[in-house]
Structures are given as C-alpha cells and as structure tokens.
Structure 1
Amino acid sequence: MFQNDRYMTCGIKHDINEKNPVTFLLLWNLIDEMEVDENKKDYLQIFVLRAKFDKKNLQEIVHMQEKPPYKKVHRYFTEIPIDAKVYAIDDGEHSTMLLAEEY
C-alpha cells in the first residue's frame, strides 16, 4: 500500500502544503514509516492535525487507521501549526491525500 504515484487535492495544496510544506511531507513519511507490516496498512489513513497555540505553536498529529487498529500521536514545534482532518487513500493505482471535507 502507498507505494504508487502520490497526488494531493487543491485543499491539501492550499491549506497544508503552501502553509507548511514540512507538515505535508511528514504526513506521507508517517505512512511510509508506520510500525506495521506493509500488508497490514489500511487503504485509508486518517490524520487529525491540531494546532496547540497555548503550547508555543505545537503541532499535534494523530495518525490512525481502522483495520487493523493503529493509532500514534506525534508532536513537534512549528511556526505555522494547522487544524485539519486529512485522509490518504490508496486505490491500488494512486495514492491521494485530501481534506476530510473534500471526500
């Protein structure tokens, strides 16, 4: 899963990649570096991004999948934290990252 061509929607480009390209690249990297067997990656990866301004621009990313259950929380400091829910979908031929509201 997720070893094919990667695409992003206009929402991802505008709301994530243009505002904070490091966060955009990190989302793909989190899929690549998941601590599960390659054949146990779900076709749908879910990311909940939360900006924690009270903690000096802390970005929190909750990475999840449904089957098999997987959840991992990542935190780091950044100048532009983002609030968003993001899906990454592998349809077998393409991997696409999109905002939840674009689904």
Structure 2
Amino acid sequence: MFQNSRYITRGIQAEIPAFTTIILWEMIETARRETPLDYLQVFRLYPAHEQGVTMQKVIHTQEQPPYQKTLCFPCENPVRAKIFCIDDETHSTMLLADEY
C-alpha cells in the first residue's frame, strides 16, 4: 500500500502548505515500517502553541489495524483541516475531507 504514484487534489494544493504535504507522506512511510497499512489514512491538522512557538499539530490515524501517531512541528501558518489519503493499488491520492 502507498508504494505507487502519488497525487494531491486542487484543494490540498490551495490550502495545505507544500512542506506539510511532504510531512504527511513521510508519516505514511513511517507508519508502513510500524504496521500494515489500511487503504485509508486520516490526518487531522490543528494549530498549536508550545512555549510561545506556533506549531502545526498532526494526528495520523487508520482503522485497521488500529494506528495513531501525533506529530507537532514549527509552522508559521498552521491550518485546521481533515485530510484523507486513499490508496487504490494503482495510485495514492491526498484530498481534503470535504472533497471526498
């Protein structure tokens, strides 16, 4: 799973910083090393503040097998979004939840 061509939708391109999308794809790579991947990966993004630093908080989950990982990284303009990554065995697509 998720070892094929990768695509992003116009919504992702318009609303999510490129650096953040790279991190989300890397989180999928990390998950692959830890557990079998489900065809649907879910990311919830929230702005956060830690010790006066603006951060992007990302919660990465999947249903089967259950998996959850949280990551925070410095970000000047954090976003609030729910993102799906779907693998259909020929390609992987990252899209905003409201584009589904």
Q: TM-score, normalised by structure 2?
A: 0.91
- Identify the match of residue 28 of structure 1 among 8, 25, 34: 25
Residue 82 of structure 1: how far off its partner (Å): 1.0
- Residue 5 (str. 1) matches residue 1 (str. 2): no
Residue 85 (structure 1) shift: 0.3
User: Would you say 1:47 and 2:20 are equivalent positions?
Assistant: no
What corresponds to 1:66 in structure 2? 63
Amino acid at match of 2:38: D
Separation in 2 of the partners of 1:73 and 1:22?
Answer: 17
SS at match of 1:2: coil
2:93 is the counterpart of 1:96: yes
Shift of 1:56: 2.9
Q: Give the Cα separation in 1 of the matches to 2:54 and 2:93.
A: 28
Q: Deviations over 1:22-57 (max 9, x none)?
A: 1110000100111424xx100000000001257531
Structure with bigger strand share is: 2
> Where in structure 1 are there 5+ consecutive unaligned residues?
none
Distance 1:36 1:69 in 2: 11
Larger deviation, residues 75-84 vs 50-59: 50-59
Amino acid at match of 1:9: T
Give the Cα–Cα distance (whole angstroms) in 1 for the partners of residues 99 and 53 of structure 2: 30
Give the deviation of 1:102 after TM superposition: 0.4
The gaps in structure 2 that reach 5 residues or longer are none
The corresponding residue for 1:83 is 80
